[in-house]
Amino acid sequence: MPENPRPETRKHGVAVSAGIAVGRAYLVGRDSLKAPRHHIDSDDVDTEVARLKKALAAADKQLEKVKDKLASEHESDYHIISAHQLMLHDEHLADAALGYIRTENICAEWALRKAVDDIAGVFNTIEDDYLRERMSDVEFVYERVLRNLLGRDTGPLSPPPDAVVVAYDLSPADTSTLHKAAVAGLITDAGGRTSHTAIIARAHEIPAVVGLENITETVETDDLLIVDGGAGVVIINPTAATVARYREEQWRQVAAGAQLLTLRDLPAETKCGQARVQLFANIDSPEELDDAIEYGAEGIGLVRTEYLYMTSDALPDEETHVHNATSMVQRMAGRPATLRTFDLGADKLARFLEDAKLEEANPALGLRSIRLCLADLGMPLFRTQLRGLLRASVHGPLRIMFPMISGVAELRAAKAVLEDVRAELRREGVPFDEHIKVGIMIEMPSAALTADVLAKEADFFSIGTNDLIQYTMAVDRVNELVSYLYEPLHPALLRLIGGVAEAARHAGISVTVCGEMAGDPTVVPVLLGLGIQELSMSAVAIPEVKSVVRAMTLAGARGLVDDVLTLPTADDVRAAVHAYMDTLGLAAKSSG
């Protein structure tokens, strides 16, 4: 057999996590999806039938979209996908599964599996290897329908070390387990730069490219892959010469990273000495603290505590919160740690939310985040977390932050619960920091536009640009079809950020940017020019951001912002920013 039977192919996607990976493909999905198997009441038969039909139709639509995007030279892929679509309507799969629901009163997932098993039984008797292997196509179709039924992937992933994980999409919880398996890279069909999957990949320094649209259809298990996470390129079945070239680039990047790390103990001060920027890290769990310190974080600007709820089936109890927060505060040894109360919902799911079965047409606009904290779910989730955070506050400078605050009324509602919990702890004689700082995330236009009044009732602001862009541009941050509109440098965004910075300055409170924009070296001069002097990002981004801060002047940043605020489009802004970076002798790398 020839060493490289299939030709080298390149695919372009969204560059989300820099670095180069060379490894074998590990396709995710099939084995990790657990199909529920349970009997249903006769009254529920119609509902289950409708569920399955909906999932089949959704799968069909997704495959149609994949086909639409296939380039003309991929005729064979086109035909395979058409065949998959035909299977969705095939009597042996769809009709048989629908039949099982009706005759055996079983749930849609089980019925579908039974139909697939029947087909497998027939395939197994086929002598011809090629035809027998086509069973994998049936399994692929099954997997896609099942995903639609379940709404997501489930189960822990266990890729071999140095594999490149290839998935339609990965839940943040799955992604967060990947570093432990030491995967080389990650590529997905779906997703955008600020999908939580992308954020986690960056935090774990896993080279990643997302939004590749049909990569799971193109790559086969064990294909050799190169992932260039900085350029957003994936190379399938590279030649030996290509592998050698990328290995060299990999070493060059590692050496450049090591060079940047030498800045660790130097301050993030502008060249003119006029601005001292604070650089913080965004983390999920205490395990990331070592990296944060290693890269020179001056504190933790954002702890996404929702990971406590996402990575375990059990709800975290008060002691878990105390333990988690205390370990962070202690490890940071006097440097501030800002813990955000749980920000669940939309693409961040937890077991209890599945059990609550919230049926929402628009989860990103639904019962999520602080709304969930304040909702009556029959469990004191929010109070439990607040008690834990307050108790941990005796160990060092812990700040509490509420996510997705829409305006003053919601802030007051959240603070009222906090006040109640404080009173309770006082009554119980449990100590906590009476002067604990309580701040909010500014993540939606309603908050940005009322920042002046919010600033009177919050101790600090942190601008969550990932969501602020999503809600300002009305563009789903995880939808690759509209990712071209996801624009950090859109004039609307810059005006909103500038307004929030001004309101905070006027009220004398601090303001951080903690969205992914903060870690984008190209955007940093714009943020400084807009009046931001605290940035919180994936720890790995800190050295490069620091190198930009140390190369620029405050006057230069202000001049740049005076200029860009007059520009009509994000492209114009980007061109101006790139020109400015050139004057600093720094090549602009990303910015959207």
Q: Minimum distance between the CB of residue 476 and Mg ion, rounded to whole angstroms?
A: 13
Q: What angle, rounded to 10 degrees, do the helices at 318-332 and 381-392 form?
A: 30
Q: Minimum distance between the CB of residue 499 and ligand PEP, rounded to whole angstroms?
A: 17
Tokens linked to 312: 């375990």
User: Is 79 labeled as catalytic in the residue annotation?
Assistant: no
Residues 535-554 that bind Mg ion (CB under 5 A): none
User: How many angstroms separate the CA atoms of 522 and 587, rounded?
Assistant: 9
> Which residue, 532, 524, 590, is CA-closest to 551?
524
Burial code of 35-64, b = ≥16 C-beta within 10 A, e = fewer? beeeebeeeeeeebbebbeebbebbbebbe
Q: Which of 467, 480, 487, 534 binds ligand PEP (CB under 6 A)?
A: 467
- Residue 399 as a binder of ligand PEP (CB under 6 A): the answer is no
Q: Which is nearer to ligand PEP, 194 or 270 (CB)?
A: 194
Q: Which is nearer to ligand PEP, 117 or 287 (CB)?
A: 287
* Residue that has been written with the tokens 């999932």 in this structure: 55
- Residue 467 as a binder of Mg ion (CB under 5 A): the answer is yes
- Residue 48 as a binder of Mg ion (CB under 5 A): the answer is no
User: Is 514 labeled as catalytic in the residue annotation?
Assistant: yes
Among residues 84, 196, 204, 490, the one annotated as catalytic is 196
Q: Evaluate whether 230 touches 511 at the Cβ level (below 8 Å).
A: no
- Residue 197 as a binder of ligand PEP (CB under 6 A): the answer is no
Contact string 475-514 vs ligand PEP (x = CB under 6 A):
---------------------------------------x
Indicate which of ligand PEP, Mg ion, none lies near residue 410 (CB less than 5 to 8 Å, by partner kind).
none
Identity of residue 135: M
> Which residue, 349, 542, 373, is CA-closest to 441?
373
Indicate which of ligand PEP, Mg ion, none lies near residue 487 (CB less than 5 to 8 Å, by partner kind).
none
- Residue 174 as a binder of Mg ion (CB under 5 A): the answer is no
Percentages helix, strand, coil for the chain (3-state, rounded to 5) are 50, 15, 35
Number of amino acids touching ligand PEP (CB under 6 A): 10
Q: Which of 143, 153, 228, 343 binds ligand PEP (CB under 6 A)?
A: 343
Residues 434-463 that bind Mg ion (CB under 5 A): 443
User: How many angstroms separate the CA atoms of 516 and 496, rounded?
Assistant: 16
Q: Minimum distance between the CB of residue 533 and Mg ion, rounded to whole angstroms?
A: 21
User: How many angstroms separate the CA atoms of 453 and 504, rounded?
Assistant: 10
Phi-psi region of 537 (alpha: psi -120 to 50; beta: other; left: phi over 0): beta
What are phi and psi for residue 236, nearest 5 degrees? -100, 135
Contact string 294-333 vs ligand PEP (x = CB under 6 A):
--------x-x-----------------------------
Q: Which stretch binds ligand PEP (CB under 6 A): 5-13, 90-98, 140-148, 465-473?
A: 465-473
User: How many angstroms separate the CA atoms of 141 and 81, rounded?
Assistant: 10
- Residue 515 as a binder of ligand PEP (CB under 6 A): the answer is yes
- Residue 464 as a binder of ligand PEP (CB under 6 A): the answer is yes
* Residue that has been written with the tokens 């997905």 in this structure: 188
- Residues with catalytic function: 196, 514
Task: Write out the residues near ligand PEP by the rule CB under 6 A.
Answer: 302, 304, 343, 443, 464-467, 514-515
